[in-house]
Amino acid sequence: MNYSVDDNGFYGRFGGAYVPEMLYANVEELRQNYLTIMAEPDFQEEMQSLLRDYVGRPTPLYFAKRLSEKYNTNIYLKREDLNHTGAHKINNTIGQILLAKRLGKTRIIAETGAGQHGVATATVCALMNLECIVYMGEVDIERQAPNVARMKMLGATVVPATSGSRTLKDATNEAIRDWINNPGNTYYIIGSVVGPHPYPDMVARFQAVISEEIKAQLLEKTGSEDPDYIVACVGGGSNAAGAFYHYLDTPEVKLVAVEAAGLGIDSGESAATSVLGKEGIIHGSRTLLMQTEDGQVTEPYSISAGLDYPGVGPLHAHLHQSGRAIFESITDEEALQAVLELTRLEGIIPALETAHALAVISRLGAKPDEVVVLNLSGRGDKDLATYLDRFNFDDK
């Protein structure tokens, strides 16, 4: 089985570039240049030094002793929450901003759900002195207020997306429309492994640093590069793609992708695309998509803004269809319990997105001598208002 993208931008039957002609030139320019630019020594040098000195990589691989004791196995947390800006998203924005500069672009646009990608984009734009416009659904602006404040502080313009479900899908639509209206000077930094080819492949390559580091760190700590399980949450799927990347061709390593079930798979309020979706086209890519019988995109729901998306990246659609990855889904309630559990056992407050991955540990059936690596994609500062509201600490 081959899990890398083919020459036409497909993973098996998924992927491609289903874009209107107005986007063709933009996407084509990127497709023709991304691999060449990424291979240039001075690009690599600049990216590596920023990842090290600015982002704070490598991030630790931490043996979570109390969590491991509770589940009677060996759990390692890949601490992407310790990156500058608090999530894995900046691995990708560093890479793409360097690419944008080399393509001579002067105006940067992005979509964001949880606001982590928006913050990571606003951050690198401040660093590189480039104009930054971030599209964000009205609902998400409300529920991720701290990140909206950070983006503004960093000098970005935050534009509310007011159509549809007013979440990540709609923010992405608006960013794409902006790109249509501003070809030439504008570069679109997509925040996950979604969108038309070459974005899914490019973003996966920038996030692949996660599994590259896991291999070396695990070897040092356990004597083997390969864990038994790698667990990651999936919105569009970029942190999962990064954590899986260098293990895709090692079938002994079980890959576990965790989606948001929202109020429950059958509740009508869910974002579990692998269960509820069928093949379709969203944001320029052929992938699994939650939709009606008539092919209208369904408005998803999750408590977690970063997972509240009706599609998944085409790589994940392929991993699901081929059986290479196991897909699980976790409800809002289960995710919230996992937040509190990690906070009280390890003193780490995770993001709501990440909590979905954590909540799956109890279902894995990992044995006492097995090793689980969980990608701790982000920290929970942005979600404190939700946590305070849901946990009622004052009453306890």
Partner 1 sequence: MINRIQQLFAQKPQGLLSVYFTAGFPNLEDTVPIILELEKNGVDLIEIGMPFSDPLADGPTIQQSSEVAIRNGMTIPTLFAQLQDIRQHTQIPLVLMGYLNPVMQYGVERFLQKASELGIDGLILPDLPLSDYVREYKEVFERYKLSNIFLITPQTPEQRIREIDTHTNGFIYMVSSASVTGSTTGQSVVNTTYFERVKEMGLRNPGVIGFGIHNQETFEQACHHASGAIIGSAFIKAIAKEESLSENISTFIQSIRHKETA
Ligand X SMILES: Cc1ncc(COP(=O)(O)O)c(C=O)c1O
Applying CB under 8 A, the residues found at the interface with partner 1 are 8, 16-22, 24-26, 163-164, 169, 173, 176-177, 180-184, 279-284, 289, 291, 293-297
Q: How far is the CB of 218 from ligand X (least distance, A)?
A: 21
Q: Which does 377 bind (CB under 5 to 8 A by kind): partner 1, ligand X, none?
A: ligand X
Q: Which does 192 bind (CB under 5 to 8 A by kind): partner 1, ligand X, none?
A: ligand X
Per-residue CA distances from 300 to 11, 101, 158, 259 (Å)? 24, 35, 22, 12
Given the complex with ligand X, which of 101 and 232 has the nearer CB atom?
Answer: 232
- Residues recognised as catalytic: 89, 111, 377
290-309: contacts with ligand X (CB under 6 A): 306-307
315-334: contacts with ligand X (CB under 6 A): none
Per rule CB under 6 A, is residue 96 in the interface with ligand X? Answer: no
Per-residue CA distances from 44 to 94, 299, 387 (Å)? 11, 40, 40
Which stretch in 17-25, 289-297, 350-358, 384-392 sits in contact with ligand X by CB under 6 A?
A: 350-358
Given the complex with partner 1, which of 227 and 314 has the nearer CB atom?
Answer: 314
Given the complex with partner 1, which of 266 and 279 has the nearer CB atom?
Answer: 279
Per rule CB under 6 A, is residue 236 in the interface with ligand X? Answer: yes
User: Which of 59, 172, 238, 329 contacts ligand X by CB under 6 A?
Assistant: 238
DSSP 156: P
Given the complex with ligand X, which of 332 and 353 has the nearer CB atom?
Answer: 353
User: Which of 23, 75, 154, 234 contacts ligand X by CB under 6 A?
Assistant: 234
Q: Which does 117 bind (CB under 5 to 8 A by kind): partner 1, ligand X, none?
A: ligand X
Q: How far is the CB of 237 from ligand X (least distance, A)?
A: 5
The closest of 322, 365, 284 to 111, measured between CA atoms, is 284
CA 147, 387, 237, 163 torsion-angle sign: negative
User: Which of 68, 73, 186, 192 contacts ligand X by CB under 6 A?
Assistant: 192
Q: What is the DSSP string of 9-75?
A: SEETTEE-----HHHHHHHHHHHHHHHHHHH-HHHHHHHHHHIIIII-PSPPEEE-HHHHHHHTSEE
Given the complex with partner 1, which of 33 and 182 has the nearer CB atom?
Answer: 182
Given the complex with ligand X, which of 101 and 242 has the nearer CB atom?
Answer: 242
CA angle 300, 301, 302 (to 5 degrees): 135
User: Which of 124, 319, 351, 364 contacts ligand X by CB under 6 A?
Assistant: 351
Rounded Cα distance between 317 and 236, Å, is 10
- Residues pairing with 291 in the sheet: 297
Q: How far is the CB of 135 from partner 1 (least distance, A)?
A: 13
Which stretch in 16-24, 210-218, 229-237, 263-271 sits in contact with ligand X by CB under 6 A?
A: 229-237
| For helices 199-207 and 209-222, angle between their N-to-C axes, nearest 10 degrees | 30
Residues 6+ apart with CB under 8 A from 289: 273, 277, 278, 279, 280, 281, 282, 297, 310, 311
Strands (E), the chain: 10-11, 14-15, 61-63, 74-79, 107-112, 131-137, 157-161, 186-188, 229-233, 254-262, 278-282, 285-289, 325-331, 371-376
Strands (E), 313-390: 325-331, 371-376
Q: Which does 182 bind (CB under 5 to 8 A by kind): partner 1, ligand X, none?
A: partner 1
For residue 58, say if its preceding peptide bond is cis, omega within 30 degrees of 0. yes
Mask of contacts with ligand X, 60-79, x by CB under 6 A?
A: --------------------
Given the complex with partner 1, which of 168 and 349 has the nearer CB atom?
Answer: 168
Binding interface with ligand X (CB under 6 A):
87, 113-114, 116-117, 192, 233-239, 306-307, 351, 353-354, 377-378
